[in-house]
Structure 1
């Protein structure tokens, strides 16, 4: 199966979460590709930059397969962007991604190169978004938390772009291991 971008998501509305203002309400951009700089997608934002954003957390990727798992677990629809991710992917096992792994997204001419830096550490705003008390704790325990990415080469990214793993370290912790302690 070819890995690809299912959706590129940017903030729709800044909302007041249970703990602070949040830009977790991300929704798909339809049509043209979105420009990506060193700090993330043009047109997106983060509210609490102590925990979100910056070079090592420029983009947040979440796998459609993990969203489908949550959909079955919660018996509800999980559309792209619901967890606050910038990139919803398909055909890429993000939970098993090794820290330091690099992905080429899109072509080598206009696409981007990113590096897996860390798992997401969810906060109470995810629970508020989902409408489930303490959901962020449950989310973290599964290890299905997605990955924060550093942008190594800027460019643009769009729905349907191919994702190629161009470097995978021989050893090291995975997103799932760091998230769930497993």
Structure 2
């Protein structure tokens, strides 16, 4: 099966569905293409997707969370589980993918897509805004228990990504830490955290959080 982008999605700014006094970018709608580039290093430095919106700039945006990808296969799982339609972009993703197991990608794996190059960076934590947007009881726990969080991506080479573009993996990292393991670590699994810390594969801020957990 081909590993492709099935949809490229950009935010329609709206009032935060969780009740915060800010605009939210959770409502992602399909666009003909997206242009990606590396934002500044920190939260609050904006999205890596041109014309996208980051509402919660205390926890989102910046180089490590430049682009968010989620798989169509997981949307299909939740459609069946929730008994409702979930169009591409519903989970706030900039890239909806098919044919690639995003959570089995290794942290720091490079991906060529369109004229851009991306790199697997950090996990997505479900939050109040996401839960309010879905409107499902206990959503944060349900999504976390599933463990299939998609992945945030850095932009290492700017470019254009269009639906139908193939995702090509290049230069696999020299460790075995995938996004599933990184998510378990971030959720407090100390055995997973030890593996991630020993691999030294996360950005410094995220690495320090796991070191503190292990103390």
Given the two structures, how large is their TM-score scaled by the length of structure 1?
0.91
Q: Distance in 1 between matches of 2:140 and 2:160?
A: 31
Q: Distance in 1 between matches of 2:127 and 2:19?
A: 8
Q: Distance in 1 between matches of 2:145 and 2:157?
A: 32
Q: Which runs of 4+ in 1 moved over 4 A?
A: none
Among 53, 56, 61, the residue aligned to 2:69: 61
Partner of 1:52 in structure 2? 60
Partner of 1:85 in structure 2? 93
The higher relative CO (CA closer than 8 Å, separation ≥ 6) is in 1
Consecutive unaligned residues in structure 1, runs of 5 or more? none
Partner of 2:11 in structure 1? 11
| Contact preservation (8 Å) 1:141, 1:179 | no
Partner of 1:27 in structure 2? 29
| Contact preservation (8 Å) 2:151, 2:179 | yes
Q: Distance in 2 between matches of 1:139 and 1:157?
A: 27
What is the CA distance between 1:14 and its match in structure 2?
2.1
Give 1 or 2: higher strand fraction.
1
Q: Distance in 2 between matches of 1:175 and 1:19?
A: 30
Count of aligned pairs between the two proteins: 176
Give 1 or 2: higher helix fraction.
2
